[in-house]
Structure 1
Amino acid sequence: MPTTTYTVTGMTCGHCVNSVTAEISKIEGVTSVDVDLASGAVRVDSSTPIPTTTISAAVDEAGYQLAD
């Protein structure tokens, strides 16, 4: 089970965490999402590798961005 960690910018509250979690959780193959508000770290566990572009699109849909 692949685990990948990303950094999301712009999150400031629990609602932000919920939005990012919900959007990433919709991606086929994602088994769990853990978002740390303080650091912006987002850990994604999946049954198969998920392209970064797919994660980025989900984060964008939630209104935030992956850090470069």
Structure 2
Amino acid sequence: MSCGHCVKAVTQAVHEIYPQARVEVDLAAGTVQVDGADDAARVAHQIEDAGYDVNAVDGRPL
């Protein structure tokens, strides 16, 4: 992730499955924090489907 487009794409991907989730993207750190989603693996899969690599869920490596 490197730009505003990436932030928008990741946020939209998460909102497709959890419309009320709060999504925070930190471009400098390359991280995404999602609050309001009950299935981290589902969120990770959704982000991957949007074209982004997911290296960890809840701080644990995949």
Runs of 4+ residues over 4 Å off in structure 1: none
Q: CA RMSD in A?
A: 1.7
Cα deviation per residue 1:6-45 (whole Å; 9 max; x = unaligned)?
Answer: xxxxx12111111001001122374211111111121111
Greater relative contact order structure (CA < 8 Å, 6+ sep): 1
More helix as a share of residues: 2
1:34 to 11, 14, 24: 24
Q: 1:65 corresponds to which residue? A: 53
Are the aligned partners of 2:13 and 2:47 in contact in 1 as well (CA < 8 Å)? Answer: yes
- List gaps (5 residues or longer) in structure 2: 56-60
- TM value normalised by structure 1: 0.67
Q: How many residue pairs get matched? A: 56
**Quick check: which one's strand share is greater?**
1
Question: Which stretches in structure 1 are left out of the alignment for 5+ residues?
Answer: 1-10
